[in-house]
């Protein structure tokens, strides 16, 4: 049983295989049962492994490692298919399998009636398998298998309704933009092999601690890998795929594009913390990119009218927070925010899904309003999520966000801290704006939608309640030190993996002041939201009229997509077309054919009937070859 | 049992038998041809199983006098040729099965040409006598010429002429070089050449340059290296499915194989002179092929340009001239054979239903043909190098080899990761996703059992090689190391005890399987 942790990914793998190959022949009940059961089994085994780990943690000893088989082995490049289980893996595995299970159950209700029901659950299982591979890998190459695997599932699930051109395009866009990051990631792995001699995490840690790895090498590798993280975790400048990813089914958005996959970059940085800690430059980059993304994405969340897109920008912004944590060296705080965010953001997405379910797929918050009377359970769930993410004291988001901001301040990066606060104001603002526009105020529903308005069935609302409980209570796993000694259980649990750095100590007074500031900032955001959207929407309308250009700029997402299109995509496509037409066909091939024609005209005698063309070609080619040969020799 | 001769000439014998059967008995003809190809496949599997992985030299060597004056019958197999032979033996029966319906005219001739082609291809990979190699090399052109010229598309004559002339022109110069080589050494024996080249008493460097160029040209056309690639899209587009599959999957490998087997180890001093140019051309091919694939409107020419890009990476890894690079190149050749073969088979299946290759004529097929959609997706992912499938293993090995030869080269070559995803997923999206724009699509039937049987073995191999790459790498490593040492003069010695996994041993030290002996050279290898 001690070694059984390697079987955690096995269940969803079997589930995926069964559902994708034979799913269309199974009854729906069997599909739901198989799909949910495999993930539940994984969750239970994760729980057992976690408990087993806690029991043996006191006895010391490194991570448990299980090599399944030697996978890749050629010269200096070698990697076994091997898993490891330590404190960080335990946390990630629990979050992944736990949230996945809840979302699988929710999907039974949400996807009821979809004609590709089995494909949906098969892909969802495949995703859980890939994600587990990612968090349980004991080396970078297996991590990369999982990394690409989740990307593939994301692609397939965003484009789940592939008849819709927008969905198909969004899936492809997500995959391609991720691939840009992955190309850098791959180069990072190659450098890792070169400098460290392998990609096992224990090897990397040893090399980092022994001083075998210099700061320059750590910076190079750290930045290349972080470029991959910017793709996967939707940070500047590669975040553009995530808003479009909302074309996928809402439970997919909750699971993949909020709770789990998009946090893979944060996990990777935390996992390689010995390497990143060697390089102040890489950490600085992580922190600055995180802070910039947190603010930038939050501004867009403030003006979007699509309920899922607001949540998508919010996710980008919150991921930025997690990177702030990692970048200031507080990896545990980053992971803690990942942990609480998994609950409240999936809760928000699933609640949004419940709203869409009730309104036959409506996404535009301008056609909602006053729904709290019709959807009381959904409202309660959404409210809990909103409070948690906004940083209202004693809910989970408050503790995790405060931990990051305190550490940022303590590290002396005051600009990063200030940007974090700014993002916090906006977070509270846009979330309450969303809450007020959807559930409060006048009902602005389409008449047809109103007639069919209904609360979701228990199979969907029970998952909401579970997540709501976690969102409210999850923060108590780690309280600020000022609340009492020994209450910061979460970072201390991770200490075996995340080496505590030299911490600048803050006085009790400063810590209280910082907590008070975070609280005040959240309240300011909430009050602003009520002033803007509480009763009437006079203030925002006036603002839009006063600054129409600024409003359009933000509402049109700073035209970043258009910019990428105009500067990168179109020139590349147009250029390639021109090269194909004018160079490949006309110059290269034209030289071959043209030389043939020329010789034909010059030497009529040679041009006997149709077979003459054969020789023409031969001659033309010979000439061409001689030119090339001559060129190379001279 | 002379297993190599049997493997080489069994298909030819089958073709002879076929020639005497009445052309009206189509089922008998097809069945017999398929049976012969399957027996050859079985033989190649037997070869694989009895192949010893520890040694880098030639195995199952058959040596007999033939025409005199150095022209001998001399066959042998090593880790590099083993898998190329297997690839050919595997894809010929698959192509026959795929052509069961699509080739309906002159069936007998078609099958005979396929079998003759198989003999030619296997002979090329197994010949250890340079003259014998040349005979197979040229002989193989004849059936290919007819396969494209008779069963091809509208512009088949133009395409097949272009293909044959391009190839023949290169190989004529190679023949001249071979004769000069014979004049200097008095033999056509490749192994003798290796011995002489290693002894220090070898050709004058100036002569090496000319001979190398003659060989390199023949092989560069075949690969094809940029800018000698323009025959490829034409030949692919016009060839019937079976022709495209064999052409892309096996024939292109002859170019890369030729570099590895002949051009590089025989003329080491010339190689050092031309290596930067050849690497540069390969790199251009990687990027250029990818960009051209991005803008193609015909499915087959898209896959053809993707081959230019993929083979560019293979050649870049070959020219890296290190162990990982050559291991990766051999592995990637097998991968490219499988993935491009599968893509052409898929295109063939689509063509049989729609009679068009224009991408814009498709759209929304996934709902109509879920099984084909799944196979197509897996082939696309294999070609794009998704980890877990075969393509990734080859790609990362190639890139690592290139990386060790030159960081910048590898960084630029990594763009293939992005480009391949872009053109392949773009193709998949336009053909399979979106609404159905062409009403004819609604009448398309999903794959039948025969069609599933055509694709399924390839898909299984993609997963198998992706998960257990050792089943190839263990057999190729000794030969790869030997071949690298022949070119670079650096002896790569296999550490005889298997390197213990650092985890199992409980301690960490980078344990490269291959250690290169001259430490003075280490620096430039790591630059």
- Give tens-digit pLDDT for A491-549: 888 888 887 765 667 888 888 999 999 999 999 999 999 999 887 778 888 888 889 89
Please compute the mean of the pLDDT values over residues A371-382 and round it to a whole number.
Answer: 92
Find the radius of gyration of the CA atoms of chain A. 28
Give dist(CA A224, CA A192) in Å, integer.
Answer: 10
- pLDDT at position A629 is 66
Please compute the mean of the pLDDT values over residues B235-240 and round it to a whole number.
Answer: 90
CB-closest option in B364, B470, B509 to A73: B470
Check CB contact of A632 with chain B, cutoff 8 Å: yes
Structure-block tokens of residue A222? 């750290």
Cβ contact, residue pair A172, B425, below 8 Å: yes
Nearest Cα to Cα of residue B394 among B87, B46, B70: B87
- pLDDT at position A613 is 63
- pLDDT at position A442 is 86
Mapped onto helix, strand or coil, the DSSP state of residue A367 is helix
Structure-block tokens of residue B28? 């008998």
Check CB contact of A589 with chain B, cutoff 8 Å: yes
Give dist(CA A479, CA A488) in Å, integer.
Answer: 5
Check CB contact of A190 with chain B, cutoff 8 Å: yes
- pLDDT at position A595 is 65
Alpha helices in B358-490 (DSSP H): 365-368, 370-383, 390-405, 407-413, 415-432, 449-467, 470-488
The predicted-structure confidence for A291-332, as pLDDT tens digits, reads as follows 999 999 999 999 999 999 999 999 999 999 999 999 999 999
Give dist(CA A544, CA A556) in Å, integer.
Answer: 13
Report B:52-81 residues touching A (Cβ under 8 A). Answer: none
Contacting residues for A86 by C-beta, under 8 A, at least 6 apart: A53, A62, A63, A64, A496, A497
Please compute the mean of the pLDDT values over residues B403-419 and round it to a whole number.
Answer: 92
Cβ contact, residue pair B169, A579, below 8 Å: no
Give dist(CA A610, CA A616) in Å, integer.
Answer: 11
| Surface-to-core class of residue B120, CB atoms within 10 Å of its CB (0-12 exposed, 13-18 middle, 19+ buried) | buried
CB-closest option in A72, A179, A588 to B417: A179
Phi, psi of B72 (to 5 degrees): -125, 160
Q: From A81, which residue of chain B is nearest by alpha-carbon distance?
A: B467
Mean pLDDT is lowest, of A90-104, A580-594, B197-211, for A580-594
Mapped onto helix, strand or coil, the DSSP state of residue A612 is helix
Check CB contact of A584 with chain B, cutoff 8 Å: yes
Q: From B368, which residue of chain A is nearest by alpha-carbon distance?
A: A163
Cβ contact, residue pair B230, A144, below 8 Å: no
Domain ranges of chain B: 287-527
Check CB contact of A198 with chain B, cutoff 8 Å: yes
Site from A75, A170, A183 to mutate, B interface, most B CB atoms within 10 angstroms: A75
Please compute the mean of the pLDDT values over residues B221-231 and round it to a whole number.
Answer: 90
Check CB contact of A122 with chain B, cutoff 8 Å: no
> How many beta-carbon contacts under 8 Å exist across A and B?
189
Nearest Cα to Cα of residue A408 among A499, A517, A330: A330
Q: From A130, which residue of chain B is nearest by alpha-carbon distance?
A: B388
Report A:37-66 residues touching B (Cβ under 8 A). Answer: 65
The predicted-structure confidence for B459-481, as pLDDT tens digits, reads as follows 999 999 999 999 999 999 999 99
Is residue A253 within 8 A of residue A245, CB to CB? The reply is yes
Cβ contact, residue pair B418, A180, below 8 Å: yes
Check CB contact of B146 with chain A, cutoff 8 Å: no
Check CB contact of B363 with chain A, cutoff 8 Å: no
Calculate ∠ Cα B361-B366-B372, nearest 5°: 95
Give dist(CA A478, CA A397) in Å, integer.
Answer: 11
Give dist(CA B131, CA B71) in Å, integer.
Answer: 6
Is residue A319 within 8 A of residue A266, CB to CB? The reply is yes
Mean pLDDT is lowest, of A426-435, B108-117, B213-222, B503-512, for B503-512
Q: CA of B239 to nearest chain A CA: how many angstroms apart?
A: 19
Buried b (16+ CB within 10 A) or exposed e, B478-488: bbbbbbbbbbb
Give dist(CA A287, CA A293) in Å, integer.
Answer: 10
Question: Cis ω on the peptide bond leading into residue A548 (within 30° of 0)?
Answer: no
Give dist(CA A535, CA A232) in Å, integer.
Answer: 40
Report B:256-315 residues touching A (Cβ under 8 A). Answer: 274, 277, 288, 291-292, 294-296
Structure-block tokens of residue A347? 């809760």
- pLDDT at position B55 is 87
Check CB contact of B168 with chain A, cutoff 8 Å: yes
Q: What sign has the CA pseudo-torsion A550, A552, A554, A559?
A: negative
In angstroms, what CA-CA distances link B453 with B28, B100, B340, B366, B383? 20, 12, 17, 20, 20
Give dist(CA B289, CA B236) in Å, integer.
Answer: 15
Q: Which residue has the tokens 């799913």?
A: A23
Task: Show residues of chain A in contact with B411, CB under 8 Å.
Answer: 187
Give dist(CA A273, CA A283) in Å, integer.
Answer: 10
Please compute the mean of the pLDDT values over residues B384-393 and round it to a whole number.
Answer: 93
Q: What sign has the CA pseudo-torsion B459, B464, B467, B469?
A: negative
Residue A482 has pLDDT above 50, yes or no: yes
The predicted-structure confidence for B249-267, as pLDDT tens digits, reads as follows 999 999 999 999 999 999 9
Please compute the mean of the pLDDT values over residues B375-386 and round it to a whole number.
Answer: 95
Task: Please name the helix (run of DSSP H) or strand (run of DSSP E) that holds residue B492, with its range, or none.
Answer: strand B492-494
Cβ contact, residue pair A182, B417, below 8 Å: yes
Buried b (16+ CB within 10 A) or exposed e, A50-89: bebbeeeeeeeeebbbbbeebbbbbbbbbbbbbbbbbbbb
Q: What sign has the CA pseudo-torsion B478, B483, B487, B489?
A: positive
Cβ contact, residue pair B473, A82, below 8 Å: no
Cβ contact, residue pair A187, B411, below 8 Å: yes
Q: Which residue has the tokens 């880790």?
A: B79
Nearest Cα to Cα of residue A172 among B371, B423, B350: B423
Task: Show residues of chain A in contact with B327, CB under 8 Å.
Answer: 74-75
The predicted-structure confidence for B57-107, as pLDDT tens digits, reads as follows 899 999 998 888 888 999 999 999 999 999 999 999 999 999 988 888 888
Q: CA of A190 to nearest chain B CA: how many angstroms apart?
A: 6
Calculate ∠ Cα B392-B396-B401, nearest 5°: 150
Is residue A2 within 8 A of residue A52, CB to CB? The reply is yes
Task: Show residues of chain A in contact with B391, CB under 8 Å.
Answer: none
Mapped onto helix, strand or coil, the DSSP state of residue B75 is strand
Check CB contact of A71 with chain B, cutoff 8 Å: yes
| Surface-to-core class of residue A450, CB atoms within 10 Å of its CB (0-12 exposed, 13-18 middle, 19+ buried) | exposed
CB-closest option in B213, B295, B418 to A573: B295
Mapped onto helix, strand or coil, the DSSP state of residue A84 is strand
Site from B53, B159, B165 to mutate, A interface, most A CB atoms within 10 angstroms: B165
Is residue B50 within 8 A of residue B129, CB to CB? The reply is no
Q: Which residue has the tokens 């074309």?
A: A247
Mapped onto helix, strand or coil, the DSSP state of residue B357 is coil
Report B:368-427 residues touching A (Cβ under 8 A). Answer: 370, 374, 381, 386-388, 392-393, 396-397, 399-400, 403-404, 410-411, 414-415, 417-418, 421-422, 425-426
| Surface-to-core class of residue A634, CB atoms within 10 Å of its CB (0-12 exposed, 13-18 middle, 19+ buried) | exposed
Here the ipTM equals 0.90
The predicted-structure confidence for A408-422, as pLDDT tens digits, reads as follows 999 889 999 999 999
Find the radius of gyration of the CA atoms of chain B. 22
- pLDDT at position B410 is 92
Is residue A90 within 8 A of residue A53, CB to CB? The reply is yes
Q: CA of A176 to nearest chain B CA: how many angstroms apart?
A: 6
Euclidean distance between the first and the last CA atom of chain A, given in angstroms as a whole number: 71
Cβ contact, residue pair A175, B421, below 8 Å: yes
- pLDDT at position B318 is 95
Please compute the mean of the pLDDT values over residues B16-28 and round it to a whole number.
Answer: 90
Report B:311-340 residues touching A (Cβ under 8 A). Answer: 322-324, 327-328
Neighbours of B140 (CB within 10 A): 24
Cβ contact, residue pair B421, A152, below 8 Å: no
Contacting residues for B170 by C-beta, under 8 A, at least 6 apart: A625, B217, B218, B219, B220, B221, B222
Work out the percent of chain B whose per-residue pLDDT is above 70. 93
- pLDDT at position B511 is 36
pTM: 0.91
Is residue A452 within 8 A of residue A325, CB to CB? The reply is no
Task: Show residues of chain B in contact with A78, CB under 8 Å.
Answer: 499, 501, 513
Nearest Cα to Cα of residue A359 among A443, A450, A434: A450
Give dist(CA B145, CA B164) in Å, integer.
Answer: 7
Check CB contact of A386 with chain B, cutoff 8 Å: no
Nearest Cα to Cα of residue B329 among B264, B415, B381: B264
Q: Is B438 left (phi over 0), alpha (psi -120 to 50) or beta?
A: beta
Structure-block tokens of residue B411? 């960084």
- pLDDT at position A59 is 52
Task: Show residues of chain B in contact with A20, CB under 8 Å.
Answer: 374
Q: From A197, which residue of chain B is nearest by alpha-carbon distance?
A: B510
Mapped onto helix, strand or coil, the DSSP state of residue A137 is strand
Structure-block tokens of residue A59? 């006895």
Rounded mean pLDDT of chain B?
88
Residue B513 has pLDDT above 60, yes or no: no
Question: Cis ω on the peptide bond leading into residue A400 (within 30° of 0)?
Answer: no
Q: Which residue has the tokens 């008995």?
A: B25
- pLDDT at position A302 is 93
Mean pLDDT is lowest, of A532-546, B22-36, B316-330, for A532-546
Q: Which residue has the tokens 């797929």?
A: A361
Check CB contact of A67 with chain B, cutoff 8 Å: yes
Q: From A139, which residue of chain B is nearest by alpha-carbon distance?
A: B503
Give dist(CA B112, CA B15) in Å, integer.
Answer: 5
């Amino acid at each position: 049983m001690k070694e059984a942790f390697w079987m955690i990914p096995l269940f969803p793998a079997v589930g995926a295989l069964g559902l994708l190959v034979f799913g269309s022949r199974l009854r729906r009940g069997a599909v739901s049962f198989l799909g949910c059961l495999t993930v539940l089994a994984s969750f239970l085994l994760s729980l057992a492994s976690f408990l087993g780990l806690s029991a043996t943690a006191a006895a010391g000893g490194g991570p448990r490692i299980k090599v399944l088989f030697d996978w890749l082995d050629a010269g200096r490049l070698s990697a076994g298919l091997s898993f490891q289980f330590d404190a960080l893996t335990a946390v990630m595995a629990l979050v992944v399998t736990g949230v996945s299970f809840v979302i699988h159950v929710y999907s039974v209700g949400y996807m009821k009636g979809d004609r590709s029901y089995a494909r949906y659950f098969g892909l969802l299982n495949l995703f859980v398998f890939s994600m587990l591979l990612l968090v349980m890998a004991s080396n970078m190459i297996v991590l990369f298998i999982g990394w690409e695997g989740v990307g593939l599932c994301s692609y397939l699930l965003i484009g789940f309704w592939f008849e819709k051109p927008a969905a198909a395009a969004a899936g492809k866009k997500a995959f391609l933009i991720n691939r840009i990051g992955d190309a850098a990631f791959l180069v990072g792995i190659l450098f890792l092999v070169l400098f460290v001699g392998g990609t096992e995490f224990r090897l990397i840690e040893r090399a980092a601690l022994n001083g075998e790895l210099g700061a320059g090498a750590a910076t190079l590798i750290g930045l290349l890998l972080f470029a991959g993280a910017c793709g996967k975790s939707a940070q500047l400048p590669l975040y553009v795929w995530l808003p479009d990813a909302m074309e996928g089914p809402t439970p997919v958005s909750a699971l993949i594009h909020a709770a789990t996959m998009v946090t893979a970059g944060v996990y990777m940085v935390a996992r390689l913390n010995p390497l990143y800690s060697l390089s102040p430059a890489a950490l600085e980059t992580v922190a600055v990119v995180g802070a910039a993304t947190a603010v930038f994405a939050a501004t867009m969340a403030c003006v979007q009218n699509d309920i899922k897109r607001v949540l998508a920008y919010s996710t980008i912004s919150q991921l930025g927070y997690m990177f702030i944590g990692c970048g200031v060296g507080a990896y545990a705080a980053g992971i803690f925010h990942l942990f609480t965010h998994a609950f409240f953001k999936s809760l928000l997405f699933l609640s949004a899904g419940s709203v869409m379910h009730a309104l036959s797929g409506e996404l535009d918050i301008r056609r909602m309003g006053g729904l709290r009377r019709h959807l009381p359970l959904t409202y309660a769930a959404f409210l809990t999520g909103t409070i948690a993410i906004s940083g209202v004291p004693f809910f989970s988001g408050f503790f995790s966000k405060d931990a990051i901001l305190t550490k940022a301040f303590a590290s002396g990066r005051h600009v990063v801290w200030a940007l974090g606060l700014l993002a916090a104001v906006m977070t509270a603002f846009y979330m309450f704006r969303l809450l007020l526009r959807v559930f409060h105020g006048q009902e602005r529903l389409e008449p047809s939608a109103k007639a069919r308005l209904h609360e979701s069935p228990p199979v969907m609302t029970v998952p909401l309640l579970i997540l709501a409980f976690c969102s409210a209570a999850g923060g108590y796993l780690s309280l600020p030190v000022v609340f009492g000694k020994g209450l910061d259980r979460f970072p201390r649990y991770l200490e075996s993996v995340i080496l505590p750095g030299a911490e600048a100590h803050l006085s009790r007074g400063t810590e209280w002041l910082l907590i008070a500031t975070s609280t005040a900032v959240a309240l300011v955001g909430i009050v602003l939201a009520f002033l803007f959207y509480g009763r009437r929407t006079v203030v925002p309308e006036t603002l839009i009229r006063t600054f129409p250009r600024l409003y359009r700029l933000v509402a049109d997402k700073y035209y970043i997509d258009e910019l990428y299109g105009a500067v990168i995509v179109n020139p590349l496509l147009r250029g390639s077309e021109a090269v194909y037409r004018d160079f490949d066909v006309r110059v290269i091939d034209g030289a071959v054919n043209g030389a043939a024609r020329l010789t034909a005209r010059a030497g009529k005698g040679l041009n006997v009937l149709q077979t003459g063309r054969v020789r023409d070609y031969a001659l033309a080619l010979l000439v061409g070859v001689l030119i090339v040969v001559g060129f190379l020799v001279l | 049992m002379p297993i190599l001769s049997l493997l080489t000439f069994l298909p030819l014998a089958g073709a002879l038998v076929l020639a005497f059967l009445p052309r009206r008995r189509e089922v008998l003809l097809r069945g017999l041809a398929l049976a012969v190809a399957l027996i050859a496949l079985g033989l190649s599997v037997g070869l694989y199983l009895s192949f010893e992985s520890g040694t880098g030299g030639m195995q199952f060597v058959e040596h007999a006098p033939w025409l005199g004056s150095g022209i001998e019958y001399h066959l042998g197999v090593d880790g590099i040729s083993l898998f190329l032979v297997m690839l050919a033996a595997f894809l010929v029966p698959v192509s026959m099965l795929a052509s069961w319906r699509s080739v309906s005219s002159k069936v007998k001739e078609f099958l005979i040409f396929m079998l003759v082609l198989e003999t030619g291809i296997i002979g090329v990979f197994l010949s250890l006598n340079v003259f014998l190699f040349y005979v197979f090399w040229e002989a193989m052109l004849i059936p290919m010429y007819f396969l494209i010229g008779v069963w091809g598309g509208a512009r088949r004559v133009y395409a097949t002429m272009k293909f044959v002339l391009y190839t023949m022109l290169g190989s004529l110069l190679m023949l001249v070089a071979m004769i000069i080589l014979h004049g200097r050494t008095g033999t056509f024996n490749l192994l003798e050449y290796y011995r002489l080249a290693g002894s220090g008493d070898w050709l004058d460097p100036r002569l090496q340059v000319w001979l190398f160029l003659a060989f390199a040209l023949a092989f560069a056309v075949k690969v094809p290296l940029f800018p000698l690639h323009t025959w490829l899209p034409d030949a692919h587009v016009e060839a019937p499915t079976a022709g495209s599959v064999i052409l892309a999957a096996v024939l292109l490998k002859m170019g890369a194989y030729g570099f590895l087997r002949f051009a590089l180890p025989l003329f080491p001093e010339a190689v050092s002179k031309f290596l930067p140019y050849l690497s540069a051309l390969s790199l251009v091919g990687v990027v250029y092929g990818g960009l051209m694939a991005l803008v193609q409107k015909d499915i087959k020419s898209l896959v053809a340009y993707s081959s230019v890009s993929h083979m560019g990476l293979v050649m870049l890894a070959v020219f890296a001239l290190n162990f990982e690079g050559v291991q990766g190149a051999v592995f990637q050749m097998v991968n490219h054979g499988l993935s491009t073969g599968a893509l052409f088979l898929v295109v063939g299946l689509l063509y049989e239903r729609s009679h068009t290759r224009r991408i814009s004529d498709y759209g929304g097929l996934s709902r109509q043909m879920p099984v084909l959609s799944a196979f197509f997706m897996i082939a696309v992912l294999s070609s794009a190098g998704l980890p877990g499938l075969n393509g990734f293993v080859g790609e990362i090995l190639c890139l690592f080899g290139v990386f060790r030869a030159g960081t910048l080269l590898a960084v630029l070559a990594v763009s293939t990761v992005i480009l391949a995803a872009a053109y392949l997923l773009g193709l998949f999206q336009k053909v399979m996703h979106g609404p159905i724009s062409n009403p004819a699509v609604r009448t398309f039937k999903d794959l039948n059992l025969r069609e599933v049987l055509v694709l399924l073995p390839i898909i299984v191999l993609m997963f198998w090689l992706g998960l257990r790459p050792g089943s190839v790498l263990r057999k190729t490593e000794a030969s790869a190391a030997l071949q690298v040492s022949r070119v670079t003069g650096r002896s790569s010695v296999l550490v005889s005890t298997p390197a213990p996994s650092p985890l199992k041993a409980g301690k960490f030290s980078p344990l490269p399987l291959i250690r290169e002996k001259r430490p003075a050279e280490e620096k430039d290898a790591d630059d």
